[in-house]
Amino acid sequence: MRDSILTARLGIPAVALVTEAFWPQGDFVANSTGMPDIPRVKLPHPIAGSGEDNMSKVATDVAPKIIQLLAS
């Protein structure tokens, strides 16, 4: 979240990738930094260590969402 917020503040399009378990924390960080509308994509949790096949599936699923948010 913080990296995306800092990047967006520099005027560079950014999208935060946040797992389901950390989504509420992402809300808190976004609101507390004054950027409640920072673009975010929700990932399944856990994602780390879930294997290459799962990571590939998740990437395929979320890539269009990321592109759409960066283009808007």
What SS3 state is found at 44? coil
pLDDT tens per residue across span 32-45? 999 999 999 999 99
Please state the pTM of the whole predicted model: 0.86
Give the pLDDT confidence score for residue 62 in this predicted structure: 97
For residue 16, give its domain range.
2-71
What pLDDT was estimated at residue 29?
97
25 phi-psi bin (left φ>0, alpha ψ -120 to 50, beta other):
alpha
Check residue 49 and give its pLDDT: 87
Q: Is 54 helix (H, G, I), strand (E, B) or coil?
A: helix
Task: Give the chain's domain count.
Answer: 1
Check residue 45 and give left, alpha or beta (phi > 0: left; psi -120 to 50: alpha): beta
pLDDT for 37 = 95
